[in-house]
Amino acid sequence: MKKDAGKIALVTGANRGIGFEIARQIAQSGAHVLLSGRSFEHANIAAQTLCDQKLIATPIQLDVTDPESVSHAADWIASTFGRLDILVNNAAIRIEDYGIAPSGQPMWKWRETFETNLFGVVEVTQALLSLIRNSKAGRIVNVSSLLGSVGTHSDRSSYAYSDMFKSLPAYSASKCGVNSWTAHLAYELRDTPIKVNAVHPGYTKTDMNDGLGDLEIPEGARTSVQMALLGSNGPSGSYVHLDRIIPW
């Protein structure tokens, strides 16, 4: 393991789905990807898949809802590399059932959703921010969703304005929180080389979406990878899908 093996990137929730593909595409750029998952065994299998493709990947156990796990991961990255160039906050859950009215979703699903989708993003970022500051040009990518856009939810012509997607109030609100966190952190870091952006992957065919969607997983990973590899002239504090700005 070399400390100078190009950029060091951490992708949370990377053992499958969009997270794994984000890790793969970032690794293809020459970065050393730290591929994290709640299960080290699953992360290790995914990382080995990338290594078999001649990419540089290391598994790391990281449960974004467990402060001890977050702290341990941050300490390991600090002692091993001394910096972090790219953080992709991808880990998320969708546990609400389709077809239930917004007021009918139980509170435990709200709390569990926010623990992973919002509080986990904030805690991981706070734990790693000093290492990102050690990068020459740190990049923080928060994987949001079109369902985090209040403007889109209010647009009667949008697919979000439907019984199906209005049955995910906790998921949608958690992603609204991610967007707000993105704007606040980008402001804090406005006079640094660090860029912070939120992305909408697109409606992608993943397990989270029960296999439904318009995009295949490689396409769904593209926006996150673009923001992770953003040049010095790129935006910060934006909410995007590919080259399109998403309304807050």
Q: How many helices (H) and strands (E) does the chain have?
A: 9, 8
On the 0-12 / 13-18 / 19+ scale of CB atoms within 10 A, 89 is buried
Percentages helix, strand, coil for the chain, rounded to the nearest 5? 45, 15, 40
| CA atoms of 177 and 157, how far apart (whole Å) | 24
Report, as residue numbers or ranges, the catalytic residues. 171
Structure-token match 């972090």, residue found: 84
| CA atoms of 75 and 132, how far apart (whole Å) | 13
